[in-house]
């Protein structure tokens, strides 16, 4: 298990910005799934902790926004703030329908970022092919 942890740390340290955003979404979605399961199992303290972890990730996404990017950053900010508010409501009420709502939003955003990441990787491969042709 120690080798896996070391691999994950290196993976995170060397990940591109796009990959890090995807990883944040994956983490938030995972914590929301665990929170939902904990609510079903009446483990409210565990649900609370996992909802807080998801909130922390949403706050990290907010802090990483580059507002010089324009309207898209402002739109993401508004959406992240909405999700954060809904997660607070979900935590207070232990409401799995709110968790489902936020999970759906995060999955939609994650898929969009994964598409950007795949396009970026494709561009890098194309550049490498061109360099190989030149060299």
pTM as predicted: 0.80
Averaged pLDDT of the chain: 87
135, pLDDT greater than 80 = no
What is the tens place of the pLDDT at every residue in 65-94?
999 989 999 999 999 999 999 999 999 999
Q: Helix count (H) and strand count (E) of the chain?
A: 5, 0
Rounded distance between C-alpha atoms, residue 92 and residue 29, angstroms: 19
CATH numbers and ranges of domains, the chain = 2-134 (1.20.120.340)
How far is the C-alpha of 28 from the C-alpha of 81, rounded, in Å? 14
CA gap 64, 120 in Å, rounded: 19
Distance between CA atoms of residues 9 and 131, nearest Å: 31
């Amino acid at each position: 298990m120690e080798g896996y942890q070391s691999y994950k740390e290196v993976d995170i340290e060397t990940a591109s910005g796009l990959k890090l955003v995807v990883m944040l979404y994956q983490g938030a979605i995972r914590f929301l799934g665990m929170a939902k399961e904990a609510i079903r199992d009446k483990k409210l303290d565990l649900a609370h902790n996992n909802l807080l972890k998801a909130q922390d990730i949403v706050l990290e996404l907010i802090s990483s926004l580059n507002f010089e990017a324009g309207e898209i950053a402002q739109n993401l900010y508004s959406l992240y703030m909405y999700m954060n508010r809904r997660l607070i409501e979900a935590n207070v009420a232990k409401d799995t329908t709110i968790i489902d709502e936020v999970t759906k939003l995060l999955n939609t955003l994650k898929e969009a970022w994964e598409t950007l990441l795949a396009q970026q990787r494709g561009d890098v491969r194309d550049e490498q092919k061109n360099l190989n042709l030149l060299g």
